[in-house]
Amino acid sequence: MNIDLIPTSRSRRLGGAALATTLAVALSACGGAKVGEADSATSAKAANCGAFNLAVNPWVGYEADAAVVAYVAKRDLGCTVTKKDLKEEVSWQGFGTGEVDAVLENWGHDDLKKKYIDEQKTAVDAGPTGNKGIIGWYVPPWMATQYPDITDWKNLNKYASMFKTSESGGKGQLLDGDPSYVTNDEALVKNLKLDFKVVNGGSETALLQAFRQAEAKKTPLLAYFYDPQWFFSEMKLVKVNLPPYTAGCDAVPAKVACDYPPYDLDKIVSKKFADANGPAYKLVKAFNWTNDDQNTVAQYIAKDKMSDEDAAKKWVDANPDKVKAWLAQS
């Protein structure tokens, strides 16, 4: 889920030091069944894995990443995994304190890379996740059908009065998600001279419910959203075309007047974790899958109401070759 986020967007999400954090339940691990036959090398990895502190940022796609990595780390490497529910920048702060070993889904965040990788030198890049991220503004299907020209940003002011809410102060409402998500929306509204006000919905769940309600009741809605996102299999949201992204058009946040860039999502880990080069780090570095993979697990969790562990197990059991490839490098 630049979700100036999901999402968690696309950079995607921007957390602040003052943002509250919640510590998830620690997941104790043991050995257990392996992919393939157990051997002495695997046993040695299990003995050496130790503690693995994994940040979980607030969108279900990331939760899917963490579910699968944690499941494989516990089952196949014998790691003791502690998952921590944290906003984005708070996660990066944890690299220097030893409280966080890995962030599995970074949406751009050149600002955080500069601060924690280049300047503080407490973090390093651990390579791509394989996921391709897109952030943008979307309307429910009924609106695109009834008002086909609404998908061009130049026509948004014509429809602004339709989007008024009690929270938008007489202007049209543009609904955002979690306040920690990466978003350029305030700048976009101002610089494109749109008669809209950005209103934070508070969470990914709130965005989903808003789209469901808007489609069911045929009420207007313009909202920030992102892909990968399992919800597209339920509702074919339609993206509004903002001025095309070109390299550097978002270099100055206050002056952004272009669409969000495409994101090659990547993993960030603590330098200490990387330097130790243990089994958990090697697994994180090797972890790579597709948007469809992530959306499948995310749907198990969000729509099918499976536990993270059950969702991960179902995907892992169905994709043994991918897991074996990760483990071969860990």
Structural domain boundaries enclosing 215:
134-255
- 297 lies in the same domain as 241: no
Do 156 and 204 belong together in one domain? yes
Share of the chain above pLDDT 90, in %: 81
Mean pLDDT along residues 14-34 = 36
What global pTM score does this model have?
0.82
Residue 5 is assigned to a structural domain of this protein: no
* Co-location of 193 and 282 in the same domain: no
| pLDDT tens, position by position, 275-328 | 999 999 999 999 999 999 999 999 999 999 999 999 999 999 999 999 999 999
Residue 125 lies in a domain: yes
Per-residue pLDDT tens for 101-147?
A: 999 999 988 889 999 999 999 999 999 999 999 999 999 999 999 99
Total count of domains within the chain: 2
> At which of 202, 236, 255 does a domain end?
255
Q: Which amino acid is at 112?
A: L
- Mean pLDDT for 19-37 is 37
| Same-domain check for residues 63 and 170 | no
15 pLDDT higher than 80: no
- How does residue 47 score in pLDDT terms, banded at 50, 70 and 90? low
308: in domain: yes
In the listed set 255, 274, 294, which residue is the last one of a domain according to the structure? 255
CATH number at residue 301: 3.40.190.10
58 has pLDDT over 50: yes
